[in-house]
Structure 1
Amino acid sequence: MMTRVNLLHLHLLLKPFRPSEMESFQNPDWETEFNRFERAISSSPAPIRVRSVIKLSALANQSPESILTRAIPILAGLLRVSDDPNRSVQAAAAHCLKRIACLGGEFAATMGRCGVIASLLGLLLEQANDNGIALRRIWVKCLWSLVTFGSSIRVGLARHSVSVIRDSGAIPLLVGLVRDGSLEFRERISGAISQLCYNENDREVFSESGMIPILIEWLGDESEELRDNAAEALINFSEDREHYGRVREALNHPVIQSMQSRLARIRASHEHLVRSMRRVTIEHLARDPYLP
């Protein structure tokens, strides 16, 4: 558990550099700076490593792509360090990775290949029984920057990530990010949320975290994917007596009525397929000359 002092320390570490501090970073020799960064990370105590990483975060917008690409495996390795009980090194690395991922390009995909996603999911699960809300917020923000900006990171990853966030007790943090996320982020995550809402316990957590009003709002969004996923989730909420009153009026929305018809056709088609496969299998076994 992080103490109040440690939380304050973490806040100070992750705050932006002041303009006076940034003046000394104008037109740096990038190769020299990167060599210093490497040396600091490999041989310095935790406070210096943290400061070096935060400096890189501050310079991310102006750093050459080649420098940031070379820095990603180093930052990924910092997520796995075990010599910093306060997690300040890991928090600084996650913060820096988030800043880099938000620049777009292939950075997020490179982070995925370097094991960043697995490390972040592991940190979330590890933090599940802790009160380190500030740390979980950092892990979640970094994770979703990868999902949002990584064009090669598919929806399946988002679904798996949401499952881990659920297990770690961080769904309220996720809902907070959903409110302010980009359209691409909301589209990616809405599919995962709609699937998780098939589970009664997950529906309860999402409801307590304020997800229902967001889903109702999404019914009027311009994105068809967002509307459909919201409709599917709200239909699942309507199956719970305690939630029905909150979604009852929304059930008359044309998007939900269309989704209900679509789901009914899918279920009917699935049941017909199962019956057909069962009948074919029995008939095949009855005719098979090689069976005794």
Structure 2
Amino acid sequence: MDYPQIVQSDGNIDWEQAAQKYLSIIACENEPLQVKATLELARLSKQAPEATLASTIPVLVRLLGDSRPTIQAAASYALCCISRRVDGDLSSVVGAAGAIPIILSLLPSSRDWFRRTLLRCLSAVVSFDIPSRVILARIGGLEVILDLLGTCSGDMKRYLLEILSALALLREVRRVIINLGGLSFLIEAVSNGKIISRTRAAHAVGLLGIARRVRHMLVDMGAIPALVGLLRDGDTPARLVAGNALGIVSSHVDHLTQVAQADAIPLYVELLKGSEPLGKEIAEDVFSVLAVEEGNAILILEHLVRILHGEDEGAKVAAVDVLWDLVCYKHTLYIVLDSGVIPILVELLRNGNGDIRAKASGTIAQLSYEKASRNALAEAGAIPVLLDLLRGNSEELTGCTLEALINFGEDPLHRDHVSDTPSSLAVQDRLTRNPASNEHMSRSMRLMNSEQLTSEPELI
């Protein structure tokens, strides 16, 4: 482009005139001039207005399909620069203009700088634009990308993995990716490339892991350490996606030990303590599954006790919620007793805020079904605290309080401590006036053991 003719008196470029100048140069069929103007367009693409660039994209796509290598190379570079603008808004224009089939046809025979430029352009287009992913998938793009992944390395492989991670978000791609041998590459994509690309790959892995057969394949191919790496190194959105995907992939008793060995438990503790509500939910769900394995349960309880000793009220609520799930397993009861958490629960029930009290009362009610934990609760002073809580509290808190007191009242060792106090009249009165709560309190404890989870793995 001839600068003196398009630069205004104030030093700014007249972009409309520049675009017309470029189009006129392309129309003249002077190859060296066309190449020079196209490379200049690429250089100016970061500062040019979208409308100006959009008007040149159909021309650039036509040049990409040209038979002259120098023209193709210059056009691919310009399209790459335009597609990789920070906002990504023009990637859809590039895809809709027909660039994807041309790039795909050029890739197998391309080499070195030209191939790298084509891959960078294609990666940007499919990363930003969902319809472009569909186009690429439906013209055989997955097969081409997988073939190239088997031979490329370095930056080229990284761009290929980014393209694969974008394609794998399509259901039609996930249906065939296993049969085409792409699962190992998808796991590799979780560990390589930009965080946003790694996050897409992790999301796809989680979606694939919903199927039990695929879940085992993913674990055998190294999905657990790959997802743990993203859970450790990613930004907040990446950590949420990786944490959720890891929970799905590892949700079988055969995989629970591997998760702990990969040091995932402290990372889930960070999610539990974080400010993202979704992160807390993910951590709670994963901990309730990981605790099926005894060693995991011990480690999780150690972290929960530390949280409950701290000052973060939100983290405490989440920790007690996890604890409520953990005491539903038979094999964790003795771990809970050894952890020293019961006196902490009683203190939270006595002095905690409303939400913590509600969670603590539910956990204590669950513990009150077992003799050993009833004795530990009584020794920690739970009975008088429960009796005091009968007055003026929420329905959920009152229901759990009554549940626990009835279990104490049916225990000969503790019956007198419940019936000999004036507040015990409130227990009987509540039961008489609210038969519905009686049904709630007489429910059997949700006890699961590892044998049940082994025989019915889909329960988790």
The TM-score, its normalising length taken from structure 1, stands at 0.57
* Distance in 1, Cα, partners of 2:307 & 2:362: 20
Tell me how far 1:80 sits from its aligned partner: 3.2
Any residues of structure 2 matched to 1:14-53 within 5 Å, and which? 17=130, 22=134, 32-39=140-147, 41=149, 42=152, 44=156, 49-53=161-165
* Distance in 2, Cα, partners of 1:243 & 1:231: 20
* Distance in 1, Cα, partners of 2:229 & 2:326: 34
Gaps of at least 5 residues in structure 1 are 7-11, 265-292
Gaps of at least 5 residues in structure 2 are 1-85, 88-124, 351-356, 377-460
Where does residue 201 of structure 1 map in the other structure? Answer: 306
Cα distance 1:212–1:79, how it changes in 2: closer, same or farther (>3 A)? closer
Tell me how far 1:214 sits from its aligned partner: 2.8
Cα distance 1:37–1:125, how it changes in 2: closer, same or farther (>3 A)? same
Q: Secondary structure of 1:197's match?
A: helix
- Indicate yes or no: 2:195 matched with 1:63: no
Count of aligned pairs between the two proteins: 230
Cα distance 1:64–1:21, how it changes in 2: closer, same or farther (>3 A)? closer
Tell me how far 1:14 sits from its aligned partner: 8.2
Q: Match for 1:138: what amino acid?
A: V
Q: What CA RMSD, in Å, does the superposition of the two structures yield over aligned residues?
A: 4.6
Where does residue 103 of structure 2 map in the other structure? Answer: none
Where does residue 177 of structure 1 map in the other structure? Answer: 282
Cα distance 1:204–1:38, how it changes in 2: closer, same or farther (>3 A)? farther
- Indicate yes or no: 2:237 matched with 1:134: yes
Cα distance 1:77–1:51, how it changes in 2: closer, same or farther (>3 A)? closer
Tell me how far 1:72 sits from its aligned partner: 1.6
- Indicate yes or no: 2:206 matched with 1:98: yes
- Indicate yes or no: 2:365 matched with 1:253: yes
Q: Match for 1:137: what amino acid?
A: L
* Distance in 1, Cα, partners of 2:374 & 2:128: 49
Any residues of structure 2 matched to 1:158-237 within 5 Å, and which? 158-160=259-261, 161-166=263-268, 169-171=270-272, 172=274, 174-177=279-282, 187-191=288-292, 192=296, 195-199=299-303, 200-204=305-309, 208-209=314-315, 210-212=317-319, 214-215=321-322, 218=325, 225=329, 232=336, 236-237=340-341
Checking the alignment, whether the CA contact within 8 Å between 2:165 and 2:189 is kept in structure 1 is no
Q: Deviations over 1:93-128 (max 9, x none)?
A: 2122112112321x222222222212222333335x
* Distance in 2, Cα, partners of 1:21 & 1:248: 49
Cα distance 1:170–1:113, how it changes in 2: closer, same or farther (>3 A)? same
* Distance in 2, Cα, partners of 1:189 & 1:73: 25
Q: Match for 2:245: what amino acid?
A: C
Tell me how far 1:24 sits from its aligned partner: 8.1
Tell me how far 1:235 sits from its aligned partner: 7.4
Q: Match for 1:98: what amino acid?
A: G
- Which 4+ runs in 1 deviate beyond 6 A? 12-16
Cα distance 1:164–1:235, how it changes in 2: closer, same or farther (>3 A)? closer
* Distance in 2, Cα, partners of 1:13 & 1:143: 25
Q: Secondary structure of 1:214's match?
A: helix
Cα distance 1:21–1:123, how it changes in 2: closer, same or farther (>3 A)? closer
Cα distance 1:38–1:116, how it changes in 2: closer, same or farther (>3 A)? same
Larger radius of gyration: 2
* Distance in 1, Cα, partners of 2:375 & 2:217: 38
Aligned residues with identical type, % of pairs: 10
- Indicate yes or no: 2:239 matched with 1:239: no
* Distance in 2, Cα, partners of 1:22 & 1:75: 18
Checking the alignment, whether the CA contact within 8 Å between 2:224 and 2:259 is kept in structure 1 is no
Q: Match for 1:189: what amino acid?
A: L
The one of 79, 83, 103 aligned to 2:190: 79
* Distance in 1, Cα, partners of 2:282 & 2:215: 18
Tell me how far 1:202 sits from its aligned partner: 4.1
* Distance in 2, Cα, partners of 1:194 & 1:15: 44
* Distance in 1, Cα, partners of 2:230 & 2:136: 34
Q: Match for 2:182: what amino acid?
A: A
The TM-score, its normalising length taken from structure 2, stands at 0.39
* Distance in 2, Cα, partners of 1:87 & 1:250: 40
Where does residue 287 of structure 1 map in the other structure? Answer: none
Tell me how far 1:140 sits from its aligned partner: 0.9
Where does residue 109 of structure 1 map in the other structure? Answer: 216
* Distance in 1, Cα, partners of 2:147 & 2:247: 30
- Bigger relative contact order (CA 8 A; separation at least 6): 1
Tell me how far 1:74 sits from its aligned partner: 0.8
Q: Match for 2:342: what amino acid?
A: S
Checking the alignment, whether the CA contact within 8 Å between 2:268 and 2:283 is kept in structure 1 is no
